[in-house]
Amino acid sequence: MNAHLLDGLTLPLMFLTAMVLQILFIELGFRYGRLRQGKPKPHRGQMAQVRAIMGASLGLLAFMLAFSFSMAQQHHEERAIAYMQEVSAVDTAYRASDLILHEQRRNAKQLLRQFIDQRLASARALERGDLTDTLQRVRQSEQLHDALWRIAEQSMEGEGDHEDTGLFAGAVLAMISAHDARLQAAFYNRISPVIWLSLLLLALLSMIVMGYQAGLTGTRSKLATWSIALTFSLVLVLITDLDRPNSTLFEMSQDLMTALAQRMEASNG
């Protein structure tokens, strides 16, 4: 699981970089347009063509931004759903452990409490951007899955009806499934670098065309220039944060997992 293309950039740095690049490319387009202004006056049809290209490029940029935002929002929602499914599966497994033998029950409850601790620790590690510690915690959680499944297998051994003990085995399988879903949503369901690159190139080309059109007319609005650069940069930051597993602007609360850990400790006491 490698870090994503833009994960090394902080949100303020990304915002400033996007702003500077857009202002720079608008200025480059404007200066080139001013140079062209000194040549024979552009035909009215040429001016109309430049305006049409500018409108089309800005419209396509708006579409790409909306598409990317929708994709990032979907990824964020998938992470939230997988998180809630895992909390529910752990809660079910803890309750179902009361249906297995006493010795197995004690070990299962202890492992489930350790699992919750690992999950909360991995969330804290991810929040501070420590990917190595996060992945180490994830691997330890998977080892706890294996230990819980061995208990589930033992509970299903022997003759007789295993309907009650089967509930615990099913809950452990649900935990494993939710774990896989969280990994997929957090580390693999990300906006493709190809989309990011296309979005960046389209934005910069749109800024050049907009500056070029202003240069041909010899007039420009600083308010309009800064407004479009600010708008694009803000939306870009929102998309980036939604797509990241360690989102800061849209931080996913760990209250459900914390509350479950507290209930486990209370029932153990």
Cβ atoms of 152 and 169 closer than 8 Å? yes
Stronger pLDDT, 148 or 9, i.e. the higher one: 148
Query: Which position has the higher pLDDT, 50 or 18?
Result: 18
- Backbone CA torsion sign across 80, 81, 86, 92: positive
CA-closest candidate to residue 243, choices 202, 204, 193: 193
Residue 49 CB-half CA count within 13 A: 5
3-state secondary structure of 128: coil
Mean pLDDT, the chain, rounded, equals 86
- In this structure, what token pair is assigned to residue 196? 């990011």
Q: What pLDDT is attached to residue 116?
A: 94
Q: How many domains does the chain have?
A: 1
Residue 5 domain flag:
no
Domain extent at residue 81: 11-268
Given this model, what pLDDT does residue 52 score? 86
Q: Is residue 212 part of a domain?
A: yes
* 200 part of a folded domain: yes
| CA 229, 234, 237, 239 torsion-angle sign | negative
Verdict on whether the full-model pTM lies above 0.95: no
C-alpha 76, offset from chain centre:
5
Q: Residue 145: what pLDDT?
A: 94
Does residue 1 form part of some domain? no
Query: Is 91 within the bounds of a domain?
Result: yes
**Residue 39 lies inside a defined structural domain of this protein:** yes
**Least confident range of 15-24, 39-48, 184-193:** 39-48
Whether residue 4 is contained in a domain is answered as no
Q: Is residue 3 part of a domain?
A: no
> Looking at residue 39, what is its pLDDT?
59
Residue 176 — pLDDT band, cuts 50, 70, 90? Answer: very high
